[in-house]
Amino acid sequence: MGQAIAVRTDYTSGELRRLAQRAKDAGKARRLLAIAAVLDGASREEAARIGGMDRQTLRDWVIRFNDEGPEGLINIPSPGAPAKLKAAHKAFLARIVEEGPTPAIPGVVRWCDLIMRLHEEFGLSVSDDTIYRALKELGFSHLSARPRAYRQDPNAIAAFKRMARPVCKGFVRGDLISLRQRIRPVDRVPAKMEIRASGSS
């Protein structure tokens, strides 16, 4: 079994408990309480249980506490994967987009064309999302043309619009007039019911 790493002694257990009370980060507070227990003479296993961790994790936090003090007991966010597109790649993209689409070669008009040009120029494979984020960062916005039906005839559309408007207006007016003529007063009894009533008496 390995030797336990000694904890720095420039902080007392009472000071660490007071820091734990004021800590806004729950994980940092638990680690401070575990190290305070070590300074009070508790075994490493018991101190780890107080901090809600195993002995190996406590050992790692003790090393961090010895190096950085109480401020080193917070989780450092992961930087994530490095960006695939460097400044040269972004400048290349900006130049292609600013030049605008050319139907002849190289004919860049879609996202996949930009991806293909990046691959040809730099040997770099990226996704649509990477291109979208890079262009947005460069101040470009993604615009899509309104879709049109295949073989749509503009003359037929204009003729339909001219014909449909007056017919619809006339139909609505005529329909309302015929509805008014068909509505009967509520207090009037239907003829069949009148005949039956007189026959039964």
pLDDT tens by residue, 32-67? 999 999 999 999 999 999 999 999 999 999 999 999
Same domain flag for 20 and 65 = yes
Q: Would you tell me how many other CB atoms lie within 10 Å of the CB of residue 65?
A: 23
Q: Answer whether residue 74 shows pLDDT above 50.
A: yes
Q: What is the pLDDT of residue 56?
A: 93
Q: Answer whether residue 115 shows pLDDT above 80.
A: yes
Which is nearest to 94 in space by CA: 136, 154, 146, 47? Answer: 136
Same domain flag for 69 and 18 = yes
Supply the range of the domain harboring residue 127: 87-137
Residue 128 lies in a domain: yes
Residue 174 lies in a domain: no
Same domain flag for 62 and 100 = no
Residue 149 lies in a domain: no
Residue 112 lies in a domain: yes
Residue 24 lies in a domain: yes
Count CA within 13 A, CB hemisphere, residue 94: 12
As given in the structure block, the two tokens for residue 198 are: 């007189």
Residue 61 lies in a domain: yes
As given in the structure block, the two tokens for residue 112 are: 């996949």
Phi-psi region of 193 (alpha: psi -120 to 50; beta: other; left: phi over 0): alpha
Which is nearest to 38 in space by CA: 3, 74, 7? Answer: 7
Q: Answer whether residue 167 shows pLDDT above 50.
A: no
- pTM, two decimal places: 0.44
Which is nearest to 23 in space by CA: 51, 59, 54? Answer: 51
* Domain finish residue from 22, 41, 73: 73
Q: What is the pLDDT of residue 156?
A: 78
User: How far out from the chain centre does Cα 33 lie?
Assistant: 37
Contact 35, 4 (CB under 8 A): no
